[in-house]
Each structure stands twice: as structure tokens, then as C-alpha cells.
Chain A
Amino acid sequence: MCEECRELVDPKEVKLEEVFAKYKNSKGALIPILQEAQEIYGYLPEHVLKLISQATRLPVAKIYGVATFYAQFRLTPIGRNVISMCLGTACHVRGGAKVLEAIEKEAQVKDGQTSEDGRFTLEIVNCIGACGLAPVISINSNVHGKLVAEQIPEILAQYE
């Protein structure tokens, strides 16, 4: 490949091609492919779904069907930090709603949305399995437990 052409290649697409190669002969690889594609792009843009369709020889409609069935997949871009607010039973009983309110206020986001400055995406989840420390949130997979609403501004300040 000549130097000029090299610059035209999208590095993300190169990574995606590697994922396709890895799962080339595996059965039922659609979900791991979607997971790894989302890892690369942060979400699943339409053109990526089309590329996956070409690689897996599955109709886009089917891929869309799978992507929308599972909570993990996102079809819109996300913020720099993803806040997962747990509202499972233990967190519900121990006052998770108050913590949620504080997050909505502090980060200026609602469930499923991304803040205008792109700093936070908020999602409500059912249980992250840290019930012993309810109420909990997880930000970019860091779990913060035994929360009270007053702690939220300080915690969010750690994530730029």
C-alpha cells in the first residue's frame, strides 16, 4: 500500500477487520462481534452494522434485531464517562432513587441520555451484583458503594 493510501485507511476499520478474521469460522459469533465492534467504536453506528452484515453474511435486519434486543448494545454515541445507576431491589430499598436524583441534577442527564458536553452518559441498570453495598453506581466499571446523595458531586468530579 502506498503512503497516501495508508492515510485513507480508517484505523478503527482495520481493528474491525481483525475481529472479523478472528471469528471467521466460529459458530454463533454475532454477539461477540457486536461486543468487540462496540468496544472499538464506543457504540454501533449504522455503517458498522452494514460491515458486520457483509462479513457475517447475515441480513442487516437480523443484526439490528439482535443489537436492539440486548441492553448492552448502543446505537447512539456515548459520553466520555458512563454512569450505571443500579436500581435493583437492594438499591431500591436502600434509597437508590435519591442518588439517581442527585446524579440527574449534577450531571444534567436523564436515563439513556448523554450530557450536552459529552461528559456523562447515564443508564439505569437492574443489578450489578454489589448488593451488599447498596445503593451503588458504577462509573466506567468502577463501583462506588454505600452512597448517599450528598457524595455525588464529589464522585462525579473525579471523572473528566
Chain B
Amino acid sequence: MSVEGKKQVFICAGTGCVSSGADKVVKKLEEEVKRQNLEDKIQLIPTGCRGFCEQGPTLVVEPSKKFYRQVQPEDIPEIVEKELGKGESIEKFFYVDPNTDQIVNSYEDICFFSKQTRISLHNCGFIDPTKIEDYLERGGYEGLKKALSMDPEKIIEEVKSSGLRGRGGAGFSTGLKWSLCKATPSDKKYVICNADEGDPGAFMDRGLLEGDPHSIIEGMLIGAYAIGADEGYVYVRAEYPLAIENLQIAIKQAEEKNLLGKNILGSDFSFKLHISAGAGAFVCGEETALMASIEGERGMPRVRPPFPAQKGLWGKPTNINNVETWSNIPHILRNGAEWYAQYGTEKSKGTKIFALTGKVNNTGLVEVPMGMTLREIIFEIGGGIQGGNKFKDVQIGGPSGGCLPEEMLDLAVDYETLTEAGAMVGSGGLVIMDETTCMVDIAKFFVNFSQAESCGKCTPCREGNKRMWEMLERITKGEGELEDLDKLEQLALTIKETSLCGLGQNAPNPVLATLKYFRDEFVEHIEDKKCRAGACQDLLTYRIDPDKCKRCSICARNCPVNCITGDKNTPYVIDEEACIKCGACMERCKFDAVLLV
């Protein structure tokens, strides 16, 4: 990977940056480097996701660590000439700290990166994920080599004492899970990587699979060896084509190097790894549904026990872990349990990747030690709220999680603390919301998601979520009654207690959390028929401020139901009865004269 005396340019080519134009940037870079005769001095390395999606496409120049952001193909000639040719910095491409307005040129000095501790993401953005040599050069497969020289029981002990817990959401001890599967006698066992990342707002598994697929393979190999499995599956959602492609390449390379297949590295251990592409069902993230899906069935969960560790895929003992969990394993083996356990809190060890999205300045993937406060993540790493707006709440853990208001921002992020507060670590999606977000609308949004994704097997989830959605729909239309709130709460608790799987058991969480922290907004919708965020269309009235109206008539001309009247001499007026609240007038008005009240 590194070549003496050459300048290296790392170009983020993850899904996020590619959609911002990174593939064109790569092509242009190749052309320009050639045209300016710099081929001997420059090495171009397209990488997986470096995490800073908001600023994409991004370039990192090593060894100077300069970070160029929002680079477009037309900027390339200048960058190649000045930065790569003469070593001159071009300030306009550097990151500007939104809080201090300071220009920062090295990525090591950007808060977004400097506050992170990257273990799982160690290689993401620093290697070409399609080259096994890059992975090997950064210590790849050392963990496997060490594991193969160890007694399987010792490996499980090591993972147990590292304190690693399932990163898919539930937070079950990984070492314990492995030991349960190991303890079940069987002629055949499986390990599975759950990459059915369905939580809207979470994309760490995609980032890892695209940016560092070998770390997942290595983690699974170590797990399989410890448990006694000889076959495995990575269940990836079909929506992640680049992740599947990079994983396919990685598997092929590992097979060629005898890191997968028969008698791996000369040992007695053999392991075959398959990719199983999901077909679009959120519920398949639940482990028993996921296995049904690999078996070619409808992805519906079943009652546990028996747990997969006893009876899993095709009736055989199976161990399922999430992508991020697997990616931690090689590091634990390589550096030891003690090293891993130095990060995090007493009960939640290590680091966790969060997907920072929504109304925050620095969106992207960040990895931090467990126990960091939400405030640090959102305001220091995330750089605060977009457009200088006021923070309202953060939704943690997707449709199974909850939202937390400003006063909870100093909570330390770990499994127990967040669950106690009514949210959950979940898969690690952090969606930041500001005052323009309506909490009733958000509760409705999540319930709508869960009711649509319910597999329909058990009644509480299938019917209950639908009824909750109907109640919330009535409230957002101004047709709700105060009793609805108690009914909602009661129904939510019933669904939680009686549903078959995690989807149903957690689906009411967003409703319960919003009712707990934002009850006044619900009451406002019901009693005052008002939505303070201006998100619930039916509760809004459009009015024209006569003092601001310049009588240009653009609103009247764009009104689809012709309910705005006025002329050159009189300010325009909206007929509230006839108005369908489409907002076209407000969008078109150049003088901000149309108001929502």
C-alpha cells in the first residue's frame, strides 16, 4: 500500500461520496495525474467510507494529512497542480469549523475525527477494500493466526472478558452467546453475520462491509473456529449492492490465500462462507426470521426457545452476530481482552459506531468509546445543529428506540443508561431533530414504519400497531381526544408485553418515549388544534401578511384551487375555507409574506 517517497491520495468512494460524485472525481484525478506527469510521485487509493458523508466527496493527502472536502471533478486540475505537484495548500477546500469559523487543514484536527476512537472503523477510509494486501499490511488476519494457535475455550474466554456485547441492538454478551452454541453437541454448526441493516437512519454495517470486508470475514473465522462451525452465511440486504460486491471480492481473495476453505493456514480448521442477499423485509433482522429467509421461506420469526444456539439454521446450532460485533473480534484477539476493555464503561465495554444524521452539521459515521455523552457526540463531533437552529431531540435506535430531549443530553451512552431513559443503543442510528420537527408526526412516522413492516404473524403487532397509527393519524389531523393519550399508552404497553419478536416488542417505544418527554405537544394538537413545528398540514392555516405583500400575484397564479384573491391595489387574501394547505403560495412568495399560523 505505502510506497516510499510517494504522496498518497485517499479518495472516499463509499456509497455516500459516490452519490456526491466521487467516481467522477477518481476518474478525473487519474487523468490529471497522468496529464501533469505526476504518476511516479502520486498514488491514488479509492477507499471505503471514511465517515464524513456531509463533506463528500473527500480527499486525504498523506503524509501531510490534509483533508480536502466537497471536491468536484472541475476542481481536480487545480488540486493536482498545486497540492500534489507543488505541495501548496488550497484553503477553500479545507473544513471550516461551524462553531469557531476556523479553517482546519489536517483531518486529525477536525473535531469530527479527533474525538473518535476507531476500532471497528480502523481501516475504513485507510485501505482499498478490494485489495487484501492493504488489509494484511495493517495487521489483517493476525487475529486469526493467533486464534488458530489457541484452544477454542480460551478464545471464548478472551471474548467474554473483553466485555464485548452484541452491537445489533440487544446488547447480549458475545462470549456468552458463543459458549452457548459451543456447548450444544452437533455434527454441524453454522455462524451467521447479520447484515440486514434495516433501521432507517443507520448505515454503519454498510460502511464496514464496503470499507473493510475482510475484518468481518476474519471475525467470523475466529468465531467459527471457537464454536466449532464449518460453514457460515453473511445475510446482506439487497439494497447494498456495493457492500455485496466488495464482500464477494474479499471472499474470493481470502479463498485464494487459503484463509477460507479447507485446512485454513495448514490447520485442521475448514470454513466455507456464503453470501445470502436479503429481499427487502425489515423483520429479517430478527434472528429467527433471518434464518427462515436463508432457508428460502417467508421471513417470519418463531418462538424462542429453542434458541438458535440450540436449534438454528436447518435445525442445527447456529451463532448469529451483527456486522459490527464481528468486526471487533479480530482486534480483541490481536490486542487482547484487557486492551479492549480499557474503553467504555463498567458494563458496556469498547466502542460503538453511530450514524449521525438529521439536522446536524456533520452527518456521517462516527465511532466513540461507550460512555461518551450525547452532547459530546452531537455538539462536538457533530458540530451542532444545522442553520443555527435550536436542538429539540435525538432519536436513538431507529423505530425500536426512543427520542430524548435536551435535558437528557448529558447521559452517558451505554446499554443500561439509554434503556432506563426510554430509548436504546439499538443499532446506533442517531437522528437529530430541531424545532421544525413535530414529535407527534415522528411518533406516527415510526408506528407507520413498524405496522408496514410487521410480518403479520402475531396479533398484537399486526393489529395493535395499525390501531396506534390510526389514533396518531387522528391526532395529527386535529380530530384526537385527550382520552386517546391514555388509550395509546395502554395499547403500547400491551403490544410491548405480548408481541412475539423484537419488532413488535419494541415498536411502541417511540410512542412511549414521545408521550413521556413531549406530552404537551400531543395535548396541544388535541386541545388547541395546533402544531408548533408546522409539520402537521391539517392543523395549519396559511395567511398573507398585508404589510409584506407586494401584490405581485405570484401566489394567486400558483394556487391550484384559486382561493387567493387580490389585485394591484389590495393585498392578496387566502380564503381559509377553500384552501387545501398545499403550501404552494408560501414556496413561491419572494417576500416571505405568506405565514403559517
Contact = CB atoms under 8 A, between A and B. Distances in A.
Interface stretch (B97-105, B355-363, B368-376): B355-363
B445 A92 contact: yes
Interface in A101-160: 125-134, 136, 141-146
Contacts of A72: 238, 278-280
A89 B19 contact: no
Given A35-B238, A72-B280, A127 B199 contact: yes
Given A66-B296, A129-B15, 18 more contacts: A66-B297, A71-B279, A71-B280, A90-B358, A93-B431, A126-B200, A126-B449, A127-B199, A127-B200, A129-B197, A131-B201, A131-B202, A131-B355, A131-B429, A132-B16, A132-B363, A134-B363, A141-B241
A34 to B, nearest CB: 7
A146 B357 CA distance: 12
A31 B241 contact: no
Nearest to B362: A132
A35 B277 CA distance: 9
B248 to A, nearest CB: 14
A106 to B, nearest CB: 15
Given A130-B203, A131-B203, A132-B54, A27 B295 contact: yes
A31 B279 contact: yes
Given A93-B359, A93-B431, A132-B363, A126 B282 contact: yes
B298 A66 contact: yes
A33 B87 CA distance: 54
A70 B299 contact: yes
A102 B198 CA distance: 26
A93 B398 contact: no
A48 interface: no
Nearest to B365: A132
A130 B14 CA distance: 10
Contacts of A35: 238, 277, 279
Contacts of A91: 200
A131 B357 contact: yes
B297 A125 contact: no
Nearest to B280: A71
A127 B295 contact: no
B20 interface: yes
Interface of B: 15-16, 18-20, 53-54, 56, 197-203, 206, 238-241, 276-282, 293-300, 314, 355-359, 363-365, 395, 398-399, 429, 431, 433, 437, 442, 445-446, 449, 453, 455
A32 B296 CA distance: 8
Nearest to B52: A132
Interface residues on A, range: 35 or more
A90 B296 contact: no
Contacts of B278: 70, 72
B277 A32 contact: yes
Interface of A: 27-32, 34-35, 65-66, 69-73, 88-94, 125-134, 136, 141-146
Given A28-B294, A131-B357, A133-B20, A88 B200 contact: yes
Nearest to A141: B241
B16 A145 contact: yes
A32 B233 CA distance: 14
A132 B364 contact: yes
B203 A89 contact: no
Contacts of A30: 296-297
Contacts of A32: 276-277
A71 B395 contact: no
A89 B279 contact: no
Nearest to A66: B298
A110 to B, nearest CB: 16
Given A71-B279, A72-B279, A89-B445, A130 B294 contact: no
Contacts of A132: 16, 53-54, 56, 203, 355-357, 363-365
Contacts of B19: 130, 133, 136, 142-145
A127 B277 contact: no
Contacts of B357: 89-90, 131-132, 134
Contacts of B279: 31, 34-35, 70-73
A117 B192 CA distance: 44
B517 to A, nearest CB: 17
A65 B457 CA distance: 13
A13 to B, nearest CB: 22
A127 B18 contact: no
Given A131-B363, A132-B364, A88 B296 contact: no
A127 B355 contact: no
A133 B297 contact: no
Contacts of A28: 294-297, 314
